[in-house]
């Protein structure tokens, strides 16, 4: 399809954007499955040994974060490409390439629901802070501090608040 519209840079840009989001989604989905299998094997090892060593805990945590990254970027790429995907479909309709336009339209519907709930938007912004901005969200810091205050042994030096 890209060869057919190589002479029309504006339309080609939108078509390439559509292709890239599909490739990215497939890549992140495959990576998520691989990390899920790796996590399963690691958890089985912990169960067999009946002990969780620090290195295994941190490895499990890193795998978990990577799985979260994969899922986030699937969603992020889809949200970032929403307008370009719509423009690619419009471009194909204008060119009379109706079957391809319909095919992309069906994919477009699968990639993005017609509306995004406020709670989903909040969750998206929360995870964007971690994975795109590389910052720890404030809510996470607050929850961590509350957890530490609950589990801290008050009889240890330096544990008093």
Residue 67 lies in a domain: yes
Residue 99 belongs to some domain of the structure: yes
Query: Residue 132 falls within a domain, yes or no?
Result: no
Q: What's the token pair of residue 59? A: 């490895």
Write out pLDDT tens, residues 3-45.
Answer: 777 677 787 888 888 889 889 999 999 999 999 999 999 989 8
Report the predicted TM-score, pTM, of the whole model to 2 decimal places: 0.67
CA–CA separation, 142 and 139 (whole Å): 5
Query: Which parts of the chain fold into alpha helices (H)?
Result: 9-49, 54-80, 82-94, 98-111, 118-131, 138-151
Measured CA to CA, the distance from residue 62 to residue 43 in angstroms comes to 13
Instruction: Tell me if 143 is assigned to some domain.
Output: no
Q: Which of 64, 65, 75 is nearest to 24 (CA)?
A: 75
Residue 95 counted as domain residue:
yes
Q: Is residue 38 part of a domain?
A: yes
pLDDT value, residue 93: 84
Q: Among all chains, which residue has been given the structure tokens 């790429």?
A: 77
- The answer to the question of residue 54 being in a domain is yes
Burial state string for 135-156 with b = 16 or more CB within 10 A and e = fewer than 16: eeeeeeeeeeeeeeeeeeeeee
Domain carrying residue 101: 9-114
Q: How many domains does the chain have?
A: 1
- Structure confidence by residue, pLDDT tens digits, 63-90: 998 998 898 888 888 877 878 888 888 8
């Amino acid at each position: 399809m890209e060869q057919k519209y190589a002479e029309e840079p504006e339309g080609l840009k939108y078509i390439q954007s559509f292709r890239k989001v599909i490739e990215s989604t497939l890549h992140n989905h495959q990576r998520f499955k691989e990390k899920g299998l790796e996590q399963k094997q690691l958890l089985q090892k912990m169960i067999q040994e009946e002990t969780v060593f620090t290195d295994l805990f941190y490895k499990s945590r890193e795998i978990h974060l990577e799985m979260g990254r994969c899922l986030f970027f699937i969603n992020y790429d889809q949200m970032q490409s929403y307008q370009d995907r719509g423009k690619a479909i419009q471009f194909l309709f204008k060119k009379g390439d109706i079957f391809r336009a319909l095919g992309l339209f069906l994919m477009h519907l699968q990639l993005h629901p017609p509306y995004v709930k406020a709670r989903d938007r909040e969750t998206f912004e929360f995870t964007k802070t971690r994975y795109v901005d590389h910052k720890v969200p404030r809510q996470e810091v607050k929850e961590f501090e509350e957890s530490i205050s609950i589990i801290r042994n008050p009889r240890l030096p330096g544990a008093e608040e």
